[in-house]
Amino acid sequence: MKRIEDLEELKSIATAQPTEVFIQLNFGLRSSKNIEYDADADSWLIYNYIDDTEQMLTSKQLKEDTNIIEALDKGALYLY
């Protein structure tokens, strides 16, 4: 497992192929996700394993509607 350092690294990783990541939560729990980034549209496709939901978001919505950016800022987003 490797920590993802910033949004640019996440974009780079998720552009090449769908990417499995997780957010490290309290008490050793994890929130697993599959993330794809489309640079041309500046959009994200996120599949949340915890509740079997999918989200299509802009980069602005990624910050407002998910905890992914907060996880990046806290060093809690990891690549499987």
Distance between CA 51 and CA 16 in Å, rounded? 25
| Residue 51, CB-side half-sphere exposure with 13 Å CA sphere | 4
Distance between CA 79 and CA 3 in Å, rounded? 6
Q: Tens digit of pLDDT for each residue in 21-71?
A: 999 999 989 999 999 999 999 999 999 999 999 999 999 999 999 999 999
Residue 17: per-residue pLDDT: 87
Of 40, 44, 56, residue with least CA distance to 19: 44
Residue that wins the pLDDT comparison between 17 and 12: 12
Residue 16 has pLDDT above 80, yes or no: no
